[in-house]
Amino acid sequence: MSCGPASRNSAVSGERLSLREQLREDRAVHYGSWLHPGYQALAVHRFGRWCRERGGVVGRIGTLAFRTVNNIVIRNLHGTEISVDAAIGRRVLIGHHQALMIPRHCVIGDDTIIRHGVTIGYANTQAPPEAVPKIGSRVDIAPGAHLIGPITIGDDVRIGPGSIVTVDVPAGSTVFAAPARIMRPAAAAAPPPS
């Protein structure tokens, strides 16, 4: 695969890289494995963006290949949906790939970690396409987190498991879901009145 002009993916960090350089960085972050599903999802996403920007016959043929692989393998087998219109920064790690949604116009900064069961999306079906989260660099998103609506997540934020984030989060913050409550076991409940 020849490397054409760098895509907007690297524009998140302000540095332009070729497709080959982006894929090399992505593979290194995914433990050096070509077989890691998170790497495969990012590689297909980056290839789709490269094809779109390249244009011409090569771009059209590549886009057809991208759509086929993205829909059959990445979405249906890996359970990962990443829009080609999402801007994903450098060295993003998709640690666990299942049930992951990254929509159009979403921006994800460099060195971010995303785990399984994460939804990054719209607040409702009538929301404009741009009304999605913008995520800074070095953000750690735990399993089951949901980032909803036109919010901004600052740099160096940690989002805990099961968190539902619908407001802006300042840089350096930590967000956690409500802690679990321990309920009395049914056997320990008071006996019914006689």
- pLDDT, position 192: 63
Reference 66, options 83, 79, 91; nearest CA is 83
Return the percentage of the chain with pLDDT > 70, whole number. 88
Element (H, E) at 146: strand 146-148
Note every long-range contact of 12-18, with CB atoms under 8 Å and residues 24 or more positions apart, other chains counting: 12/87, 12/88, 12/89, 12/90, 12/107, 12/108, 12/109, 12/110, 13/89, 13/90, 13/109, 13/110, 13/137, 15/90, 17/90
pLDDT tens digits, 123-133: 988 999 899 99
Instruction: Tell me the one-letter amino acid at 95.
Output: G
Residue burial 38-52, b: 16+ Cβ < 10 Å; e: rest? bbbbbbbbbbbbbbb
Neighbours of 169 (CB within 10 A): 22
Give mean pLDDT, residues 178-185: 81
Q: Model pTM greater than 0.85?
A: no
Task: Give dist(CA 150, CA 169) in Å, integer.
Answer: 12
| Structural domains in the chain plus CATH codes | 14-175 (2.160.10.10)
Report whether pLDDT(15) > 70.
no
pLDDT tens digits, 31-63: 999 999 999 999 999 999 999 999 899 999 999
Q: Rg for the chain (alpha carbons), in Å?
A: 19
